[in-house]
Amino acid sequence: MDSEKSCKESSYFMKSVFIKLRSESQTVILFMIGILISLFVLYPFLVLLIKSLMNEGRITLDVYIRILKDQETYKAIGNTIYVSLGVTLLTSLFGGTLAWLVTRTDYVYKEAIKKLAFLTFMMPSYVIAISWIEFFGRNGYWNRILRNIFGIYEYRFIPYSLEAVILVMSIHLYPLVFMAIANALGKTDPSLEDAAVMSGASRLKAVITITLPLTIPSFIAIGLLVFSRTMANFGVAAVLALPVGEEVLTTRIYSGLTNLDLQLAIAISVILVIFSGIVFFMNNVLMRKRRFTTMTANAQKAKLIPLGKWKNSIVFFVILFQSITTIIPLIVIVTSSFLKRWGLTLTLDHLTLNNYVVLLFKNQLTRGAFKNSIFYGCIGASIAAGVGGVVSYISNKTDLNGRKLVEFIVTWPMAFPNMVLAVAATLAWMHPPFKLYGTRWIIIVTYIALFLPIIIKNVSGLIQNQDVFIEKAGRMCGASNIRVFKDITLPMIMPGLRSGWILAFLIALREIPISLLLYSPGTETIGVMLFGLKSNSYGLEMTSTLAVVIIGMTIIGHVLLKKVKGLKMEVEK
Amino acid sequence: MYRKVKRSTLLLLILILAGMIIFSACSANNIEETKKDDKIEKAVASEKSAYSEEEGKITVYLSGSEPMIKKLEEEFEAQRGDVLDLLHMGCGPLRQKVWTEKEAGQIQADVVWGSDPLMYRVLTKEGALENYLPKEYDAIKSEYKIGDGYYTLVNERYGVIIYNKDHIEKESIPKAFSDLKDKKWDGVMVMADANQSSTALALTSAIYQMSGNNWDYLKVMHENHLFLTKKNGEVPSKISEGEFDVGIAPHDGVLRLQKKAKKDGYETPLALAWPEEGALAIQRPIAIIKNQKRPDSNKKIAEEFVDFILSKKAQMITANFGFVSVRKDIPLPIGVPEDIKVMPVDWGYASEHEEELRDGFREIMQGK
């Protein structure tokens, strides 16, 4: 009763304030963004938080005290940090090196690097984990090679460990770093580097003291994304670490949910949010102490650094690296998809096309599931790109109070396993006036919350590198804020928006927990179908088949997108 | 100018946060008040089910083999028309979805079927289930007549030893659970994780009781580096794929995999060993969810569906998919020995000590 009255009072007061502020366009935009973010992110989160604090009608911190006394919590935290740091360091090394080779050197097979990195990026982390098992497992292809060709029968390598998680996640995420750093390097003026060389510095010193610092914003932004994504990842840890008794925070949360202990799951999720917040604010503190300026208007084509005597060695190692991270996993899953049952020997009588037939034609849900996943993915990714782009702009290019807080709130879902987002969505959207439960919109709304952090992190590095003077020049010519955003800022961040959209869409194609907990008859997704296939006594061969189909669809989609873009450019000419 | 703008935007942000907190508190309070006051419950709860918005259609949440579910659906709707909306998921997600909806105010399903008795005992205690005795209740064997009408046991499956006969010589085939303590199984044993799988928790309860209400048996399993899967269906999968040699899991998945291998034309190395201590019996209940807003016609359909699942025809279908019937007049599935020795599980004990069992399992399996 009292709560209803409070709702009305606050609503009235907000209306009054809104009327006063409507003449300020920036404030109005922030207000509208705030409403959207509150609906998609803050409201479900606060419902969840209040739930964790309520025990038999009174507010208490009992559940937080309980988990802070539990030694298992600290072990899970330690494991989470270990894995996340490991992945962040490895991906920075892999992605940064490849980005530098592609943008700043005369490396010969640049297109191959880009295409193979994108291909790796399109493989779900879960699928890379599966191919890891199929290759290195006790009956895996590597062991069969050792056995049949080299006669080695003693099996020693155990493919399940925290280190396995680090390696698989690094393979999955290094393309993000590669794309972000390549974008940043592409917009950095190489003449600064040339000036250093003319002043007597060696090429290596110029790279270390000029180019590397200029890419720090992108390294930090994408490193934050990688760290957060790894912290929040559940699938790989569940496949490669949990089976041998190694737990991370996400698997701990999952166990809490499975054991119907929602408060435990929420409390640990809050810990993840706190960690995410610490990383986020450390990022901001570091960034605030430096000023980054680049003039891209006069950027010349970069003078490529010759690799000289190192060329052959570098080519060899790059090919080796990308073979291990992209080609071998693809060969493994394609091979497995043609087996009647994974684990059978590779002989003609054990091969079949039936896995594809079952997946694409016999399953009654296939057509509807693909259609739904594509629809939800497009809607969710598009809305997230729109909102995320504006949030990123507000956060980095305006003087509005609370801008960093807005960005931080939007990135909260990154710290939550998808299962917790699904629970939050259930609790939040079960009742009028916002009853979405049982419709497709609860899935879409939850996808938006899931996608927003991804969009923002892809855009942040780019937007921070943009010189504020260009915008001011636009305003001095009489353009409005909106015009400046549309004509100057938007083209600059479009690569980030595009890659973020693609990433979000890909996640929608293969996501399982949100779909499984929130789906209703008629709103099945690929994830729900994937789950159904597993319960039909299929094994790794069917998982591999689905992986091949998803990757194939993604490649086709990407090619079509490029053609549409090319067509548009032709029209403009 | 700047100062005014800053103060205004700051005030605006505070208001947004405050509004959201109040609004969220409203939702949370609604959830709490739903349990206390029927009037508020009537105001808050939807007049219609979220899914079956029309009369004449019910929603069923269930777990189990998808081909079996499709066959049962076809049979029931052949008699009754298009009256079913089925949501199929695993035991864990099923439990999760039901429980989350209950916390949110109202379970949306009309009927829930699958998993194990632990979930239904909790739901009964919380008053979430309708009381209904199926028409052919008397056809059930007496040992399966539990639940006092709030839920009905309709199928049974047995936790047994599963092994890969390509990797194990005949004289080494384990004949009892105690055989698995041997060091020769180090690193090649697999079982589902009791903290991820609802059915695995039931198996863990059974093993704990078999061991004399202590953890001795599972401690030895951990010393043999027992590998833990997400769900029971993965246990026979991983054994058939050559990844592991032996495991503990329900028998029905093995029977289905053996059938599928025969149909697809390859040899599967999967085999069952029926342990001397007795197979661990786990039943699959069915129940009608209590919902005062449900139209009478839908309630009738729900009751008919429960009757159908217990009918001879449906029981024959489920037996063909490896499940053991609770009826007196249905033969055992092919592959289940006639002289099978069964070890019953004390579900009352398991229910009361559920948290201890889960925590104990985790403590052992994550220890060094």
Transcribe A534-555 into DSSP letters.
Answer: HHTT--HHHHHHHHHHHHHHHH
B9, A27: Cβ pair inside 8 Å?
yes
pLDDT value at position A331? 92
pLDDT digits (tens, 9 = 90+) for B138-154: 999 988 888 888 999 99
Helix count (H) and strand count (E) of chain B? 13, 11
With 50 as the cut, is the pLDDT of residue A573 above it?
no
Suggest the residue from A26, A258, A395, A403 to mutate for an interface test with chain B (most B CBs closer than 10 A): A258
Read off the pLDDT of each residue in A398-408 and give the average, rounded to a whole number: 72
Determine whether the interchain pair A242/B228 forms a contact, defined as Cβ–Cβ distance below 8 Å. Answer: yes
Nearest to B58 by CA among B284, B283, B308: B308
Percentage of residues in chain A with pLDDT exceeding 70? Answer: 83
**pLDDT tier, A566 (very low <50, low <70, confident <90, very high otherwise):** low
> Do A50 and B28 count as a contact with CB atoms less than 8 A apart?
yes
Model confidence band, residue A4 (pLDDT cutoffs 50, 70, 90): low
Residue A104 pLDDT grade (very low, low, confident, very high; cuts 50, 70, 90): confident
Mean pLDDT of the residues in chain B: 83
Indicate the pLDDT class of residue B27, thresholds 50, 70 and 90.
Answer: very low
Which chain B residues touch A50 with a CB distance below 8 Å? Answer: 24-25, 28
Cross-chain residue pair B15–A160, CB shorter than 8 Å: no
Task: Please state the separation of Cα A302 from the chain's center in Å.
Answer: 30
Give me the pLDDT at residue B1, please.
Answer: 34
Asked if the model's pLDDT at residue B333 lies above 60, the reply is yes
Interface test with A, best of B27, B126, B354 (most A CBs within 10 A): B27
Q: How confident is the model at residue A439 (pLDDT cuts 50, 70, 90)?
A: confident
Nearest-neighbour CA in chain A from B128: distance (Å)? 16
> Least CB-CB distance to A139: which of B5, B29, B241?
B241
Query: pLDDT value at position A466?
Result: 65
Q: Nearest CA of chain A to the CA of B64: how many Å?
A: 7
Q: Report chain B residues whose CB lies below 8 A from the CB of A540.
A: 237, 241
Cis bond upstream, residue A433 (ω within 30) = yes
Structure tokens at A208: 């270390």
Contacts of B358 in chain A (CB under 8 A): 259
Whether B107 shows a pLDDT value over 70: the answer reads yes
| Percent above pLDDT 70 for chain B | 85
Question: What's the pLDDT score for residue A269?
Answer: 83
Chain A partners within 8 Å of B320 (Cβ)? none
Is A87's pLDDT higher than 90? yes
Tell which wins on pLDDT, A414 or B302: B302
Give mean pLDDT, residues B345-355: 87
Residues 43-102 of A with CB under 8 A from B: 43, 46-47, 49-51, 54, 57, 72, 75
Q: Are B13 and A260 in contact (CB < 8 Å)? A: no
Q: Looking at residues A293-303, what average pLDDT do you find? A: 53
Mean pLDDT of A460-477: 72
- Rounded to whole angstroms, the Cα distance separating B104 from A427 reads 5
Q: How far is A433 from chain B (nearest CA, A)?
A: 10
More confident residue, B121 or A11: B121
With a CB cutoff of 8 Å and minimum separation 6, the contacts of B170 are none
Judged on CB neighbours under 10 Å (0-12, 13-18, 19+), A543 is buried
- What is the average pLDDT across B62-82? 89
Task: Tell me which of A206-210, A278-282, B362-366 is least confident.
Answer: A278-282
pLDDT of residue B313 exceeding 50: yes
Mean pLDDT of A335-342: 88
- B-facing residues of A in 5-44 (CB < 8 A) are 6-7, 10-11, 13-14, 17, 20-21, 24, 27, 30-31, 34-35, 38, 42-43
Query: Per-residue pLDDT averaged across A510-526, rounded?
Result: 81
Alpha-carbon distance B138 to nearest alpha carbon in chain A (angstroms): 32
| Residues A351-362, mean pLDDT to the nearest whole number | 81
Place A474 in a pLDDT band, splitting at 50, 70 and 90. confident
pLDDT of A165 reads 94
Cβ-defined contact of B261 to A30 (cutoff 8 Å): no
| CB contact at 8 A, B329 and B100 | no
Query: Which chain A residue lies closest to B8 (C-alpha atoms)?
Result: A21
* Per-residue pLDDT reduced to its tens digit, B272-312: 999 999 999 999 999 999 988 888 889 999 999 999 999 99
CB contact under 8 A, B365 and A243: no
Mutate to test the interface with B, among A394, A537, A542, A544 (most CBs of B within 10 A): A537
Above 70 in pLDDT, residue A512? yes
Residue with tokens 């028309």: B81
Q: Give residues 427 to 446 of A whose Cβ lies within 8 Å of B.
A: 427-428, 430-432, 435, 437-438
Beta bridge partner(s), residue B189 = B246
pLDDT of residue B15: 56
Chain A residues close to B24, C-beta within 8 Å: 42-43, 46-47, 49-50
Query: Using a CB-CB distance cutoff of 8 angstroms, which residues of chain B are in contact with residue A158?
Result: 187
Amino acid at B357: L
Range with the lowest mean pLDDT among A226-235, A335-344, A410-419? A410-419
What's the rounded mean pLDDT across residues A521-542? 75
Q: Per the CB < 8 Å rule, is B240 touching A343?
A: yes
Mean pLDDT of chain A: 79
Residues of B with CB below 8 A from A235's CB? none
- Asked if the Cβ–Cβ distance from A341 to B18 is below 8 Å, we say no
- pLDDT band, very low/low/confident/very high, at B204 (cuts 50, 70, 90): very high
Residue B276 neighbours by CB distance under 10 Å? 12
Please report which confidence band the pLDDT of residue A520 belongs to, taking 50, 70 and 90 as the band edges: confident
Q: Do A258 and B66 touch (CB under 8 A)?
A: no
Cα gap B93→B365, rounded to integer Å: 23
Interacting residues of B105 by C-beta distance below 8 A, sequence separation 6+:
A430, A431, B30, B31, B34, B41, B44, B45
Q: Which residues is B162 bridged to in the sheet?
A: B247, B272
Q: Is A245 on the interface with B (CB under 8 A)?
A: yes
Q: B9 and A344 in contact by Cβ < 8 A?
A: no
**Cα distances (angstroms) measured from residue A271 to each of A52, A275, A366, A425:** 13, 6, 38, 20
Provide the shortest C-alpha distance from residue A47 to chain B (in Å): 5
Give yes or no for residue A222 having a pLDDT over 90: no
Inter-chain touch A38–B19, beta carbons under 8 Å: yes
Q: How confident is the model at residue A363 (pLDDT cuts 50, 70, 90)?
A: low
The whole-angstrom separation of Cα B77 and Cα B206 is: 37
Check residue B111 and give its pLDDT: 93
DSSP, collapsed to helix, strand or coil, labels residue B324 as strand
Please answer yes or no on whether B225 and A243 come within 8 Å at the CB atom: no
Contact yes or no for A350 and B266 at CB 8 A: yes
| Res A433: pLDDT | 67
Work out the minimum CA distance from A43 to partner chain B, whole angstroms: 6
Spell out a b/e string for A142-174, using b for 16 or more CB atoms within 10 Å of the CB, else e. ebeebeeeeeeeeeeeebbebebbbbbbbbbbb
Residue A545's pLDDT is what?
87
CA distance A287 to chain B (A): 22
Q: Does B25 or B331 have the greater pLDDT score?
A: B331
Q: Which of A18, A22, A52, A401 to mutate to test the interface with B (most CBs of B within 10 A)?
A: A401
What pLDDT does B40 receive? 32
User: In the A/B pair of chains, how many CB contacts fall below 8 A?
Assistant: 233
Give me the pLDDT at residue B245, please: 93
Q: Cβ contact (<8 Å) for B100 and A42?
A: no
A6 pLDDT higher than 70: no
Q: How far apart are the first and last CA of chain A?
A: 65
Name the band, by pLDDT with cuts 50, 70 and 90, for residue A516: confident
